[in-house]
Amino acid sequence: MPIWQMITGEYPPQGGGVSDYSRLVAGALAAAGDEIDVWAPGTFRAQLRDVGATVHRLSDHFGPRGLATLSRELKPDGRILVQYVPHAFGARAMNLAFPFWLFSQRNKMPIDVMFHEVVFPIKVRQALRHNFLGVITRIMALMVARAATRTFVAIPAWERTLLPLIHGSRQFNWLPVPSNIPLAQCDERVRALKNRYSSTQQGILIGHFGTYGGWISEALKSSVLPILQRHSDASLLLIGGKSEGFRSQLLSEHPTLGTRIHATGEIDPLEVSRHITCCDLMVQPYPDGISGRRGSAMAALSHGRAIVTTSGHLTEPLWEQSGAVELVKAGHAEGLIAATSRLMEDAHQRSQLGTAAEKLYAERFDLTHTIAALRAGS
């Protein structure tokens, strides 16, 4: 029975995409019959009970005491699985001690590293302190990659970032991030939600699921608001923890749309599933384009929704090849408006896109592929 020792910078009840991902993977490995220990920073919040996984909390955030604990208590007959994001290991993303510690373990046991993110960017016109952070995160990534027995990346673009750092041949395995939203049954609750949020019985309900960051919020403002103004039977459903604040912003500028813009606020995952299911289509713009690391896109994809999204420098070729989403160049508001309007008027195309989305998710992104790839070399 393989023994996994997952090291992660966040784990529920701590929030974050890596936190949710770590719990999904730990639970699935345990369900497959493997032994799984999780090592994560301490938290003052109530602990969750995970079936099959043993969660250990470190006394500091991967500082000297925490690293000493790992050195003392990790099982030599197990393998390490690191969920790597530079800022997740403390010291404001400059914890050089952690990658050097990990490098020191490379001859003691196998080390698998999943790179969710790699480095902070270095740019000519940004602040010196930010470029310094960029240099430090490159040193960290170099040490972590060289410590790894196997290296996984959330998107292929991270391979292009890592290869120049390690100056050598290395096989990188693309391990897309699955959805962390479970599928709820399409029941009376879903139908009630559709009736509640739609402006008319035949009205189209446009959805967005996310965290409403600056670029995405502006992209939604510039695309979805004109659609609501042009189509009186359309409504907008904002799903996610910060959706209520974003709705307030929209209504402060367009108070007449108050009955047609809705927000869920923070709701549990099954309710997120029901709210996504009740939408006719999802509009999911991203500044760097849709990619395998976008959990909100994975959620819409797994629910078989018609999706209008953006392409950018991180977008993998499969998105265009699969025909599973409607792609518009990032930053092209008129393109988002045109694509969304076209889908609103074509139920057949929405159905085709939804079917293709569900198929693509099952074939490429489902959690079963993650577990199979990890266990293949364990």
Average pLDDT, the chain: 94
Asked whether the beta carbons of 81 and 112 are under 8 A apart, the reply is yes
Domains, the chain, in order of start with CATH, read 3-175 (3.40.50.2000), 188-365 (3.40.50.2000)
Q: What is the mean pLDDT of residues 160-171?
A: 82
- Token pair recorded at residue 98: 């952690």
Asked whether the beta carbons of 205 and 237 are under 8 A apart, the reply is yes
Q: What is the pLDDT of residue 299?
A: 98
In the sheet with 326-329, reading across from the earlier edge strand, the strands are 261-263, 234-239, 204-209, 281-284, 306-311, 326-329
Q: What is the pLDDT of residue 169?
A: 66
Q: Phi and psi for 151 in degrees, rounded to 5? A: -125, 125
Q: What is the mean pLDDT of residues 168-185?
A: 89
- The larger pLDDT score, comparing residue 337 to residue 166, is at 337
- Indicate whether 104 pLDDT > 70: yes
Q: How confident is the model at residue 249 (pLDDT cuts 50, 70, 90)?
A: very high
d(CA 243, CA 253) in angstroms, rounded, equals 16
The structure tokens 């989305």 sit at 357
Q: Kindly write down the DSSP assignment for every residue of 305-352, as one continuous string.
A: -EEEEEE-TT--THHHHHT-SEEEETT-HHHHHHHHHHHHT-HHHHHH
Q: How confident is the model at residue 48 (pLDDT cuts 50, 70, 90)?
A: low
Q: What is the pLDDT of residue 168?
A: 66
Q: Which amino acid is at 223?
A: S
Q: How confident is the model at residue 128 (pLDDT cuts 50, 70, 90)?
A: very high
- Token pair recorded at residue 206: 């446009």
Give 189-228 pLDDT, tens digit per residue.
Answer: 999 999 999 988 789 999 999 999 999 999 999 999 999 9
Give 312-370 pLDDT, tens digit per residue.
Answer: 999 999 999 999 999 999 999 999 999 999 999 999 999 999 999 999 999 999 999 99
- Indicate whether 47 pLDDT > 70: no
**Half-sphere exposure in the Cβ direction for 129 (13 Å, CA):** 2
Q: How confident is the model at residue 46 (pLDDT cuts 50, 70, 90)?
A: low
- Token pair recorded at residue 272: 């997120």
* CA distances for 7 relative to 1, 25, 36, 99, 107, angstroms: 19, 12, 11, 12, 17
Q: Kindly write down the DSSP assignment for every residue of 22-57, as one continuous string.
A: HHHHHHHHHHTT-EEEEEEE--SSPPPPPSSEEEEE
Express as a percent the part of the chain with pLDDT over 70: 97
- Indicate whether 105 pLDDT > 80: yes
The structure tokens 């430090």 sit at 136
Q: How confident is the model at residue 378 (pLDDT cuts 50, 70, 90)?
A: low
Q: How confident is the model at residue 33 (pLDDT cuts 50, 70, 90)?
A: very high
- Indicate whether 28 pLDDT > 90: yes
Express as a percent the part of the chain with pLDDT over 90: 89
Q: What is the pLDDT of residue 1?
A: 79
Q: What is the pLDDT of residue 322?
A: 95
* CA distances for 180 relative to 154, 176, 216, 291, 302, angstroms: 15, 12, 20, 16, 10
Q: What is the pLDDT of residue 178?
A: 97
In the sheet with 53-58, reading across from the earlier edge strand, the strands are 53-58, 35-41, 3-8, 79-84, 111-115, 150-153, 172-174
Give 255-301 pLDDT, tens digit per residue.
Answer: 999 999 999 999 999 999 999 999 999 999 999 999 999 999 999 99
d(CA 333, CA 314) in angstroms, rounded, equals 19
- Indicate whether 82 pLDDT > 70: yes
d(CA 323, CA 325) in angstroms, rounded, equals 6
Asked whether the beta carbons of 285 and 309 are under 8 A apart, the reply is yes
The structure tokens 């890592």 sit at 162
DSSP code of residue 265: B
d(CA 53, CA 56) in angstroms, rounded, equals 10
